[in-house]
Structure 1
Amino acid sequence: MLRDFIIGLGYVVRGLRLIGQPGLRRYVILPLSINIAVFTAAIYWLVRTLDAAMQRYIPQWLSWLEWLLWPLLAVGFAVAVFYTFSLIANLIAAPFTGLLAERVEQRLGGRPPSAEASLWGNLRSALLAVRVQAAALLYMLIWSIPLLLLGFVPALGIVLAPLWLVLSAWMLALGYLATPTGNHDFDFRRNRRLAAEHRALALGLGTGITALTIVPVLNFLALPAGTAAAAALWTERLSKQTNLRRSADN
């Protein structure tokens, strides 16, 4: 299990390398631009929200504590906010990330959907990608509710951050894997089942993408790099095991 987790984590580094390769860079421009816009909005909203919270809830005579609370609150909120905005960016950019995933799969010798597909076929794939990403976002919101409620229990506060990190890794894995699997007509339920069957690989991938989303500058690359990483993981491991299972069933 640990070995698979490390392998999944390593695919994020692979994704960063892939998006810099000639022939793939042009497919990175639109997802990168969308991600920069979304994360710029996320950073602005996070700073404004934390500053307003400090002004409202910290008494004037305790204002000297702000220098200590700022980094602590920023890290905690950043994990929740950035991975939420990452899924939103995935939703907005779904038609373009699908094309990037297809080209990565083609580059790695996989069998992507035909480049000669009809206009209706391309439109159908784009609509499916948006639907799958919307389902992933809804799934994340549902699972976030219990963790938000736990935040009101002081004794459980110490375990809240690790739980958010695990949820973040899992949700980002589902969101990013949905792009290459969606190219092959996987709906969200089927995509989630595939990730559950390879949980350690998926959590490794999601953990790496989570790290990208909270590291300044690198978070702008999270969407294209995460898409390329998920496409590489699908092409080299998950799709082959899925095909083997189908052959065994037949």
Structure 2
Amino acid sequence: MQPSGIPGAAVGAGRRFAGGAALLLRGIGLYVRSPGLMLLGVVPALISGTIFVGAYALLVFFVDDLAVAVTPFADDWSTTARSVVRVVAMLGFLGLGGLLTVLTFTAVTLVVGDPFYEKISERVEQRYGGTPDAVEVPFWSSLRRSAADSIRLVALAVLVGIPLFVAGFIPLVGQTVVPVIGAVVGGWLLAVELVGAPFYRRGKGLRDRRAVLKADRPTALGFGVAVFVCFLIPLGAVLLMPAAVAGAALLARRSLGQPITEG
């Protein structure tokens, strides 16, 4: 019975993953139907986006020099071998930079735009019956906790990103498996980060978010990976940040067993 159960479990996980990705689409739908409120969320995203786009552009400009700096062992190799290893190094830097840019952009933007995104998240939940057992959290307390959680998540992303960068030098694996792992790790961290506002309204912190999302990890990953991929698209992070916040409110409700159908 065990072998026959494995495909069924995989199919079920795949469906939940797709269901999580669909929550981002629903968030986009809410964005389109409430442009006045949602466009407020673009303002902090635009400010952060300008900074991070500039930083990533600098990385692209200097990536060749960085690749040379980390591969001195290839100086005496043949031209072809040296070029290959340095191209791999450049791709590794760009991949690591992309991962950290997406995650730090989200963390900084959520902190900078905390009042806007809190309002968006709260308005979404009102559509589906409000927030059960809501607690009143003072603004400055919420901001401090959000900033502290974001710093911890970004630090974790750095710790994970460095081994992925090193693994990027492994032929084939570094160009196929490593980017997938990066998207999965980045997606998970984004999901944990984006559901912060609805969990804070319920008096739940970072540890609670992780525990609740782990109970249905495929759904959380589906949502987070979809957001991660969209944020890699030029201007995607700026334009879709409010929609991601709206979708995260739906993810939080689903993960907590609360309705996400209007009625």
Query: The TM-score by the shorter chain falls in which range?
Result: 0.7 to 0.9
Go from structure 1 to structure 2 and tell me whether the alpha carbon gap of 1:192 and 1:127 turns closer, same or farther (over 3 Å shift): same
Query: Aligned-pair distance for 1:182?
Result: 2.4
1:34 counterpart letter in structure 2: I
| Rounded Cα–Cα distance in structure 2 between residues aligned with 1:38 and 1:224 | 18
Report what 1:245 is aligned to.
Answer: none
Question: Is 1:80 matched up with 2:99?
Answer: yes
Which of 68, 93, 99 lines up with 2:119 in the alignment?
99
| 2:45/2:238 contact within 8 Å kept | yes
SS in structure 2 at match of 1:4: helix
Report what 2:52 is aligned to.
Answer: 39
Report what 2:7 is aligned to.
Answer: none
Q: Sequence identity, in percent?
A: 25
Go from structure 1 to structure 2 and tell me whether the alpha carbon gap of 1:198 and 1:48 turns closer, same or farther (over 3 Å shift): same
SS in structure 2 at match of 1:110: coil
| 1:169/1:209 contact within 8 Å kept | yes
| 2:125/2:131 contact within 8 Å kept | yes
SS in structure 1 at match of 2:138: helix
Report what 1:138 is aligned to.
Answer: 155
Deviation string, structure 1 residues 43-64 (Cα, Å, up to 9, x no partner) = 32332232544677799x77xx
Go from structure 1 to structure 2 and tell me whether the alpha carbon gap of 1:50 and 1:102 turns closer, same or farther (over 3 Å shift): same
Report what 1:121 is aligned to.
Answer: 138
SS in structure 1 at match of 2:234: coil
Go from structure 1 to structure 2 and tell me whether the alpha carbon gap of 1:72 and 1:148 turns closer, same or farther (over 3 Å shift): closer
Question: Is 1:150 matched up with 2:196?
Answer: no
Which of 213, 234, 238 lines up with 1:195 in the alignment?
213
Query: Aligned-pair distance for 1:199?
Result: 0.3
Which of 44, 50, 54 lines up with 2:63 in the alignment?
50
Query: Aligned-pair distance for 1:74?
Result: 8.0
Query: Aligned-pair distance for 1:123?
Result: 2.5
Q: TM-score, normalised by structure 2?
A: 0.72
Deviation string, structure 1 residues 73-96 (Cα, Å, up to 9, x no partner) = 686345424323334434533623
Query: Aligned-pair distance for 1:208?
Result: 0.7
Runs of 5+ unmatched residues, structure 2: 1-12
Deviation string, structure 1 residues 156-205 (Cα, Å, up to 9, x no partner) = 52532222121111111111122321232221111111111110110001
| 2:142/2:200 contact within 8 Å kept | yes
Q: How does 1:206-217 map to 2 (within 5 A)?
A: 206-217=224-235
| 2:168/2:178 contact within 8 Å kept | yes
Report what 2:193 is aligned to.
Answer: 175
Runs of 5+ unmatched residues, structure 1: 243-250
Report what 2:10 is aligned to.
Answer: none
Name the Cα RMSD after superposition: 3.7
Query: Aligned-pair distance for 1:213?
Result: 1.1
| Rounded Cα–Cα distance in structure 1 between residues aligned with 2:166 and 2:248 | 32
| Rounded Cα–Cα distance in structure 1 between residues aligned with 2:113 and 2:201 | 11
Q: TM-score, normalised by structure 1?
A: 0.76
1:191 counterpart letter in structure 2: R
| 1:79/1:168 contact within 8 Å kept | no
| Rounded Cα–Cα distance in structure 2 between residues aligned with 1:130 and 1:77 | 22
Query: Aligned-pair distance for 1:129?
Result: 2.0
How many corresponding residue pairs?
Answer: 237
| Rounded Cα–Cα distance in structure 2 between residues aligned with 1:77 and 1:140 | 10
Structure index of larger Rg: 2
2:230 counterpart letter in structure 1: L
Which of 114, 130, 136 lines up with 1:110 in the alignment?
130
2:19 counterpart letter in structure 1: I
